[in-house]
Structure 1
Amino acid sequence: MSVEVDLLLQEAKESIEAAQNYRSELQQRLQGLSQARKQIRGSSSQARDSLRRHFAELQAAAARLLTERLAALLAQVDAIEADSIKPLDDCQSLIEQGVGQADELLREGEAALRCGLGEKEDKLGSFTKKALHIQLDSLPEVPALVDVPSVSAQLDDSLLALLRERVSRHGSVSSHPPVLIEELQERPGGVLARWCKVDEDFTPADYRLQYRRSTSGGSQYEDAYIGRDCEFLVLHLDAHADYLFRVCARGEGRTEWSPWSVPQTGYTTLAAHEWRPGTEGYILSSRRNIALRNDSAPSRCPVLYSNAPTYFCGQTLTFRISAAGLPDRRDSLGVCVDGHKGAESLQRDQAVCISTNGAVFVNGKEMTNQLPAISLGSAVTFDMEVVSLFPPVSNNNNMREGGGAKLRVTIGSGSREVVFDWLLDQAVDCLSFGCSFVHSGWKVLVF
């Protein structure tokens, strides 16, 4: 009986635990639904505000433009009217002056006719002289109606049709932005962002990636990349800090950017790659990710190693040449198990590297395959993956020796790459990297 009770108790505990897990999963899904609903309602509210604000600005601008155009046309009517009326006013003044003179002459003539015989001769003589002086047969020219302006306004009703057609196509509403963040991969000191187009009818000409630290509420988004690529490595990020990333696009032949994608959170737990400070013959940048070979040690070719073994298999390690000096066969860029002090090249055991002339070395031996020569602007990449691990073995003294590893190495330079297996006599979790240049002037960025 006790065994059956114990079984029932065990089943009950398992059922309770399953119910708790089930409830927890359901609660998480409810939380997810709440966030989805919040995003829909929040984005819809923002879209409404954006539409109202935009069309209010358009209405105000259109009213202002129409008012300004109306004022300009009315001013033209006023100017034509004023210029056209002035000659008529001058003619009217001249005619009114003539009418006044004629009235005065008539009064004098009628008075001369009514005067007595003694004064009649003098009055009539004076009247006759004055009439001859006025030139009663000369009349001013009055323009015909066909010769004076008839002001009219020409209004093209097609503007309203054109406006209606343009307004009907102005603006759009979509349930999703045309591009979205597809993947955020952590990299040493940075995050590799990849995005993709989700609107089949949208033809992008450029993409725009922005980011900001998510814990800083007042911080603004910063532009990280503008171009045609669909991925970009954002560097100089603090480890174990959340960052928000968003992307938008600009269509072919358009000047405005599309709506932003929904921000995605990315972070890196990997420390940034840094060169080791204090190595003679090299000057480092403030972030220690750029090294410049100077001529303080021209007689030697010292190796500059990483500050720590920060390269892990499965990552891509990139060296980018931002300045170039004279090439030498002893130059090297590569990865090693550890940083040997005193070594003057990575062309040695427990290291793989490429020389500036394109030669590839594995454990100090040159391969037959060769990559393009390294020059200004070159980017050299190292990708490694673990193919197999060798377990420890016992020697003749029954002492167990550490196992080794086989790594699949891919070195890329330009448009070419070489792939080979690298045998190590010990299994390692992380590797160092390094460079060595015989001549000064070489500047290399690592990321």
Structure 2
Amino acid sequence: MSAEVDVLLQEAKESIEAAQNYRSELQQRLNGLNQARKQVRGSSGQAREALRRHFAELQAAATRLLSERLTALLAEVDAIEADSVKPLDECQSLIEHGVGQADELLREGEAALRCGLGEKEDKLGSFTKKAVRIQLDSLPEVPALVDVPCVSAQLDDSLLGVLRDRVSRLGSVASHPPVQIEELQERPGSVLVRWCKVDEDFAAADYRLQHRRSGGGRSQYEDAYIGRDCEFLVLHLDPHADYLFRVSARGEGRTEWSPWSVPQTGYTTLAPHEWCPGSEGYILSSRRNIALRSDSAHTRCPVLYSNAPTYFCGQTLTFKYVRTLSHCTPVRGEYFQTEEAVCISTNGAVFVNGKEMTNQLPAVALGSAVTFDMEVVNLFPVGNGDPGEGGHFKLRVTIGSGSREVVFDWLVEQTVDCLFFGCSFVHSGWKVVVF
């Protein structure tokens, strides 16, 4: 009986644990649904606000432009009216003056006719002289109606049709941005961001990637990349810190950017690649990822190593040459261009464990980038089975420069978890960036 009870107790415990897991999974899905609902509600509210704000600004701008144009046209009418009425007013003043003179002359003539015989001759003579002086046969010219302005306003009703057509196509609403972040890959002190189009009808000419640090500080988004590529390595990130990434696109022949993608959180747990500080003959940048060969070195070709073995198999190690240099390589321990290293020289020669390969890469020049990729081929000793008796471990190495690659297997005597890297400058003034 006790055995059956034990079985039932065990089944009950398993059922309880399963129910707890089930409830936890359901709760996570509810949280996901709440986040999805929050995104829909939040983005819809932001879209409404953006539409209202944009159209309010357009209405205000259109009202202002129409008002300014109306004022300008009314000013033109006022100017034409003022210029046209002025000579008419002058003519009117001249005619009114003549009417006044004629009225006065008529009164004097009528008075001369009514006066007595003793005064009649003098009055009539004075009247006659005054009439001659006024020149009653000279009349001012009044312009014909066809010769004076007839002000009119010409208005093109087609503007309303053009405006209606443009307004009907103004703006758009989409349920999803045309581009979304596809993948976030952690790299040493950086994150590789890849994105893709989700709207195949959208012809993208450029992409714009932004990022900001997540957290209570609410830092502003900063541009990380603008261009045609669909991936970019965002450098100078602090390990174990969350960053938000978003991307937008610009269509062919357009100036405005599309809506932003849904922000994605990314981070890196890997320490950034750094050069070892205090090395003779080299000056390092503040982040110690850029090395400059100085004039202070007394040795002919000093070697600069990484500060720590931060290169892990499966990663891509890149050296960007700002100036010409002699060697740059991942190395094991404290050795450089020996039996425990692979490297590439300025002329493109590749050395493996101290021996030059027959295959050669293009010569390194200003602006060149050399990449190292390694993957473990065999974790178990190759040979006699004992590393101390000649056994080896195999790594597959790919060195890329320009459009060419060299692939080979590198045999090492011990298992490799991480690697140092190093470089050696021949001349002062040259730089190399590692990431």
Q: Scaled by the length of structure 2, what TM-score is found? A: 0.96
2:363 aligned with 1:377: no
Shift of the alpha carbon at 1:401? 7.7
2:328 aligned with 1:337: no
**In 2: Cα distance, 1:188 partner to 1:217 partner:** 24
Match of 2:262 in 1: 262
Match of 1:200 in 2: 200
2:411 aligned with 1:423: yes
SS at match of 1:318: strand
**In 2: Cα distance, 1:298 partner to 1:97 partner:** 110
Match of 2:431 in 1: 443
Match of 2:134 in 1: 134
Distance 1:425 1:336, change over 3 A: same
Match of 2:18 in 1: 18
CA contact (8 A) 1:181 1:264 kept: yes
Corresponding letter in the other structure for 1:351: A
Shift of the alpha carbon at 1:404? 4.2
Q: Scaled by the length of structure 1, what TM-score is found? A: 0.94
CA contact (8 A) 1:207 1:226 kept: yes
Match of 1:407 in 2: 395
**In 1: Cα distance, 2:269 partner to 2:390 partner:** 29
Match of 2:224 in 1: 224
Match of 2:161 in 1: 161
Shift of the alpha carbon at 1:424? 1.0
**In 2: Cα distance, 1:350 partner to 1:302 partner:** 18
**In 2: Cα distance, 1:442 partner to 1:118 partner:** 128
Match of 2:376 in 1: 386
Instruction: From 421, 428, 433, give the equivalent of 1:433.
Output: 421
Shift of the alpha carbon at 1:231? 1.0
Match of 2:283 in 1: 283
Greater Cα offset, 88-97 or 210-219: 210-219
SS at match of 2:195: strand
Match of 2:4 in 1: 4
The Cα offsets for residues 133-168 of structure 1, whole Å up to 9 and x where unpaired, read as 111111100111111111110010001001000000
Match of 1:343 in 2: none
SS at match of 1:248: strand
SS at match of 1:250: strand
**In 2: Cα distance, 1:245 partner to 1:158 partner:** 46
| Count of matched residue pairs | 435
**In 2: Cα distance, 1:296 partner to 1:221 partner:** 41
Corresponding letter in the other structure for 1:6: D
CA contact (8 A) 1:389 1:403 kept: no
Distance 1:375 1:440, change over 3 A: same
Gapped regions of structure 2 (runs ≥ 5): none
Corresponding letter in the other structure for 1:289: N
Distance 1:153 1:46, change over 3 A: same
SS at match of 2:113: helix
Taking every aligned residue pair, what percent have the same amino acid on both sides? 82
2:236 aligned with 1:236: yes
Match of 2:344 in 1: 354
Match of 1:328 in 2: none
CA contact (8 A) 2:383 2:392 kept: no
2:254 aligned with 1:247: no
**In 2: Cα distance, 1:373 partner to 1:298 partner:** 27
**In 2: Cα distance, 1:49 partner to 1:80 partner:** 46
The Cα offsets for residues 229-252 of structure 1, whole Å up to 9 and x where unpaired, read as 111111111100000111111111
**In 2: Cα distance, 1:438 partner to 1:122 partner:** 129
SS at match of 1:57: helix
CA contact (8 A) 1:392 1:401 kept: no
**In 2: Cα distance, 1:360 partner to 1:432 partner:** 18
**In 2: Cα distance, 1:395 partner to 1:146 partner:** 117
Shift of the alpha carbon at 1:221? 0.8
Match of 2:143 in 1: 143
Match of 2:93 in 1: 93
Shift of the alpha carbon at 1:324? 2.0
Match of 1:122 in 2: 122
The Cα offsets for residues 402-426 of structure 1, whole Å up to 9 and x where unpaired, read as 9742111000000100101111111
Shift of the alpha carbon at 1:280? 1.6
SS at match of 2:50: helix
Distance 1:376 1:176, change over 3 A: same
SS at match of 1:54: helix
1:4-83 map, 5 Å: 4-83=4-83
**In 2: Cα distance, 1:156 partner to 1:124 partner:** 67
Greater Cα offset, 79-88 or 402-411: 402-411
Distance 1:29 1:414, change over 3 A: same
Corresponding letter in the other structure for 2:353: N
Match of 2:152 in 1: 152
**In 2: Cα distance, 1:20 partner to 1:403 partner:** 51
SS at match of 1:323: coil
**In 2: Cα distance, 1:401 partner to 1:212 partner:** 53
CA contact (8 A) 1:211 1:221 kept: yes
Corresponding letter in the other structure for 2:307: N
**In 1: Cα distance, 2:17 partner to 2:390 partner:** 44
CA RMSD of aligned residues (A): 1.8
Match of 1:104 in 2: 104
CA contact (8 A) 1:293 1:439 kept: yes
**In 1: Cα distance, 2:321 partner to 2:427 partner:** 14
CA contact (8 A) 1:298 1:438 kept: no
The Cα offsets for residues 346-377 of structure 1, whole Å up to 9 and x where unpaired, read as 32111111011100011001000000000110
CA contact (8 A) 1:294 1:441 kept: yes
Greater Cα offset, 265-274 or 402-411: 402-411
Corresponding letter in the other structure for 1:335: P
CA contact (8 A) 1:389 1:427 kept: yes
SS at match of 2:322: strand
